[in-house]
Structure 1
Amino acid sequence: MKAVFVEAAEQISIKDIEVPVLKEDEVLIKVAVAGICGSDIHTYKGLHPFRKPPVVIGHEVAGEVVQIGESVTNFKVGDRVTVEPQIGTGESEGIMTGNVNYSDERLAPGMGDWLGTMAEFFVSPEAQAVKLPDSVSYDQGVLVEPLAVGVHAAYKADIKSTDRVAILGAGPIGLLTLIAVKAKGVTDIVVTDVLDYSLDVAKEMGASNVINIKDNANWIQEAKLTLDKGSFDKVFITAGVPGIINDSLNLLRKGGRVVTVAMFHGQQSVDIEQLQQNEKEIVGCMTYNRPDTEEALEIIAKGELDVEKVISHKLPYQQADKGFTIVNKKQDNSVKVLVSFE
């Protein structure tokens, strides 16, 4: 089968490799489409904490089951599926609490012998596969996993419909967090970014206001002025840039909550006086759990919020190198780029 490899930093290749042999509790998926995620870009740049080149890249996927292991009972050949691409292993806090994302030893595609999703075929344990309703297309199905990130962030924020929300970063995760928040009934949502075209997509997807913060020293005050009064109840950080923690605290009302969704590299400073004296909160957020995946699929299946607006490009797998380049360099008004194997 053909598979897309990150060979080394910023080096993509397509290789012929053997189709993985199924274990008894696994399903073989003929991949229709895979997504390029921000964390894949971290791998592409050699910065990911545990997914290191050379590796078959990708963890977002939708496709058709073409073979099942001997002990599989919940799936049959022909089922259309996506995958929740994480497994909690070992005796760990994740196992004890039921939160897979807390697991001390967490397995994901591109780790160990679990190959990534950017290949003609992908193997998933039965427990990680999720059936897609007939009404959900493969292009929508591949967005279930990144939308689950936004759903989990909304859960960690304890979102209420009356909340005033700021989302700092209009990349795919920021935009899908916007969808997750809107699904909770929130109407006051300000999205910030440095790219006008990303902010245009945020507006199309339902942001009440957007602000380009590039060379804008007054953007925090500008954001607050979009509200009838006061500051934001909840702030989501979906871009891990320097200084963004304190920026988010400055946006927040007393007693409000910041949720950190983005991947960060290096240290961030925190204005502890602002945090303590105003009883503000900073909450960590890591991937998702099965209820988040189920809620993400439900949001998509309802069809009331157009998640597909986040998709800017769909390229054949032979052009995966181009896809990674345009996402990494933010070329050609790229937002979410899909890689097709159909």
Structure 2
Amino acid sequence: MKAVFVDDAEKVVVKEATLPELKENEVQIKVSVAGICGSDIHTYKGLHPFRKPPVIIGHEVAGEVVEVGEKVTRFKVGDRVTVEPQIGTGESEGIMTGNVNYSDNRLAPGMGDWLGTMAEYFIAPEAQVLPLPDTVTYDEGVLVEPLAVGVHAAYKGEVQQTDRVAILGAGPIGLLTLIAVKDRGVENVVVTDVLEYSLEKAKEMGASSVINIKEKQNWVNEAKEVLDKGSFDKVFITAGVPGIVNDALNLLKKGGRVVTVAMFHGQQEIDIEQLQQNEKEVVGCMTYNRPDSEKALEIITKGEFGVDKVISHKLHYEEAGKGFKMVDKKLDNSVKVLISFE
């Protein structure tokens, strides 16, 4: 089969790969579309903590079941599906938590012998596969996984309908976190970024206000003034840039909560006085669990928010290298780039 490899840092190639033999509890999917995620860009740049080149890249996927293992009972050939791309026991430091994302030995595509999704075919355990309703397109279905990240972030933030929310970063995860927050009934959502076209997309997808923070020294104060209600109840960090944690703390009201959604590299400074004196909180957020994926699919199925607006480009797999460069360098007003295997 043809597959997209990150062969080395910033080197994407399409070449032949061998599909592993299907196990009795597994489902083989003919891939229609796969998505380029921010974490895939970390792999592309050689920065990902556990997914290292050379590797078949990708973990977002939607397609059609073409073969099932002999013990598979929930799916049949011809079913339209997506995948929750993580396997774990929910065990952390010897304690069973029930949260797969806490697993000490969590497995994802591109790790070990589980190949990535950017290939003509993808194999996943039946337990990780989710059926797509007929009303959900494959392009929408591939967004279940990244939207689940936003849903989990909203859960970790304990978002309430009356909250004043700021989202720092209008990339795909920031925009999908916006959708997850809007689904909880929140009206006041301010989104910040340095790219005007990304902010326009945020506005289109339901942000009440947007702020371009490029070359603005006092954007934190400007953000507080936008709603004419002072500080924010919840702040979501969806861009892991230097200084962003303290910026988020400065946006918060006393007793407010910051949720760290982005992948960070290197250290972040934290103003401990802000944290302690004002009883503010900084909460970690790691991927999702099954209820988040199911909620993401529910949001997409009801179609209220036009989640597919986040998609800016769809390229054939032979152009995957171009797609990675677009996302990495923010070229051609790219937001969410999909790779097609049709």
Query: 1:224-283 CA distances to partner (integer Å, 9 max, x unpaired)?
Result: 011132200000000000000000000000000000000000000000001100000000
The aligned counterpart of 2:280 is: 280
Query: 1:53-77 CA distances to partner (integer Å, 9 max, x unpaired)?
Result: 0000000000000000010001111
Amino acid at match of 1:214: K
CA distance in 2, matches of 1:338, 1:154: 25
Within 5 Å, give how 1:1-342 maps onto structure 2. Answer: 1-89=1-89, 92=92, 96-342=96-342
Q: Would the aligned equivalents of 2:89 and 2:98 in 1 still touch at CA under 8 Å?
A: no
CA distance in 2, matches of 1:153, 1:26: 29
CA distance in 2, matches of 1:323, 1:229: 41
Distance 1:95 1:239, change over 3 A: same
Amino acid at match of 2:335: V
Give ranges in structure 2 of 5+ residues lacking alignment: none
CA distance in 2, matches of 1:134, 1:91: 35
Amino acid at match of 1:116: G
Distance 1:176 1:95, change over 3 A: farther
CA distance in 2, matches of 1:253, 1:99: 30
Identity %, equivalent residues: 79
CA distance in 2, matches of 1:90, 1:241: 30
Structure 1 residue 127: Cα displacement: 0.3
**SS of residue paired to 2:296:** helix
CA distance in 2, matches of 1:132, 1:141: 7
Structure 1 residue 92: Cα displacement: 3.7
Query: 1:41-95 CA distances to partner (integer Å, 9 max, x unpaired)?
Result: 0000000000000000000000000000010001111110000000015954597
Structure 1 residue 218: Cα displacement: 1.3
Structure 1 residue 20: Cα displacement: 2.1
CA distance in 1, matches of 2:18, 2:231: 55
Structure 1 residue 299: Cα displacement: 0.3
CA distance in 1, matches of 2:295, 2:93: 24
**SS of residue paired to 2:88:** strand
Q: Would the aligned equivalents of 2:109 and 2:115 in 1 still touch at CA under 8 Å?
A: yes
CA distance in 2, matches of 1:236, 1:266: 19
Runs of 4+ in 1 over 3 A off after TM superposition: 89-95
**SS of residue paired to 2:63:** strand
Amino acid at match of 1:123: I
**SS of residue paired to 2:106:** strand
**233-242 vs 222-231, which moves further:** 222-231
Structure 1 residue 17: Cα displacement: 1.6
Structure 1 residue 19: Cα displacement: 2.3
Amino acid at match of 2:293: T
Q: How many residues align?
A: 342
Q: Would the aligned equivalents of 2:91 and 2:98 in 1 still touch at CA under 8 Å?
A: no
Amino acid at match of 2:127: A
CA distance in 2, matches of 1:132, 1:216: 44
Q: Would the aligned equivalents of 1:88 and 1:95 in 2 still touch at CA under 8 Å?
A: no
CA distance in 2, matches of 1:94, 1:142: 33
TM-score between the two structures when normalised by the length of structure 2:
0.99
TM-score between the two structures when normalised by the length of structure 1:
0.99
Q: Would the aligned equivalents of 1:94 and 1:103 in 2 still touch at CA under 8 Å?
A: no
Query: 1:140-188 CA distances to partner (integer Å, 9 max, x unpaired)?
Result: 0000000000000000000000000000000000000000000000000
CA distance in 2, matches of 1:234, 1:89: 30
Q: Would the aligned equivalents of 2:6 and 2:57 in 1 still touch at CA under 8 Å?
A: yes
Distance 1:94 1:308, change over 3 A: farther
**83-92 vs 213-222, which moves further:** 83-92
CA distance in 1, matches of 2:188, 2:116: 38
**SS of residue paired to 2:166:** strand
CA distance in 2, matches of 1:83, 1:282: 30
